[in-house]
Amino acid sequence: MTAKTEAKSEKDRVVIFDTTLRDGEQSPGASMTLEEKLQVAELLDEMGVDIIEAGFPIASNGDFEAVSEIAKRVKKAVVCGLARASNADIDRAAEALQHAERRRIHTFIGTSPLHRQFQLQLDQDQVHERVVNSVTRARNYTDDVEWSPLDPTRTEHDFRCRVVQTA
């Protein structure tokens, strides 16, 4: 018999955010079939996990299908889809999550000088604008939006504070 302990107050509550279906599958040899992903999602939901990051819908048709099917089956947990700070990514995540009872879009962008210069070819103001645009677009689909800076420890302190406050 498992006892469920209730937090005495909201400040005592720990929120469980599980990334097994997205991050976990990136480990060598850890790929799952659609049916296995659905089983894992249902188990996480039954266990009381608060948020399940189900996948990266724009990454592949398989990821889109998995997130979409998980969104239909999970009843208690928030189902989260990952999206880069681009309209296409956010729109695809929203489409995959459309049947979720509770949905979240998790959007991100590289903020460090290395990411800005070599991956994105954008300056600080352009990255800041993408933060604003991506969070705003995601909010058009759901009130539950998560934003993350990629490589924040190598991001200039003032710029990191600026984008975090904006998001």
Is 127 a domain residue?
A: yes
Is 3 a domain residue?
A: no
Is 90 a domain residue?
A: yes
Distance of alpha carbon 84 from alpha carbon 11, whole angstroms: 31
Is 25 a domain residue?
A: yes
**pLDDT tens profile 98-112:** 999 999 999 999 999
Q: Taking the complete model, does pTM exceed 0.85, yes or no?
A: yes
Average pLDDT over residues 146-150: 97
For residue 94, give its domain range.
Answer: 14-166
Rg over CA atoms, the chain: 17
Above 70 in pLDDT, residue 5? Answer: no
Q: Please give the C-alpha separations between residue 3 and each of 6, 19, 47, 51, in angstroms, as whole numbers.
A: 10, 24, 12, 21
Q: How many CA atoms lie within 13 A of 166 on its CB side?
A: 20
| 8 Å CB contact between 67 and 57 | yes
At residue 138 the predicted structure's pLDDT band, cuts being 50, 70 and 90, is very high
pLDDT of residue 1: 41
Distance of alpha carbon 124 from alpha carbon 136, whole angstroms: 18
Q: Please give the C-alpha separations between residue 10 and each of 1, 6, 14, 111, 151, in angstroms, as whole numbers.
A: 25, 10, 9, 32, 30
Q: What is the CATH number of the domain that holds 29?
A: 3.20.20.70
Give 12 or 76, the one with higher predicted confidence: 76
Is 62 a domain residue?
A: yes
Q: Please give the C-alpha separations between residue 110 and each of 17, 113, 163, in angstroms, as whole numbers.
A: 21, 9, 11
Domains in the chain: how many in total? 1
**pLDDT tens profile 22-63:** 887 777 777 899 999 999 999 999 999 999 999 999 999 999
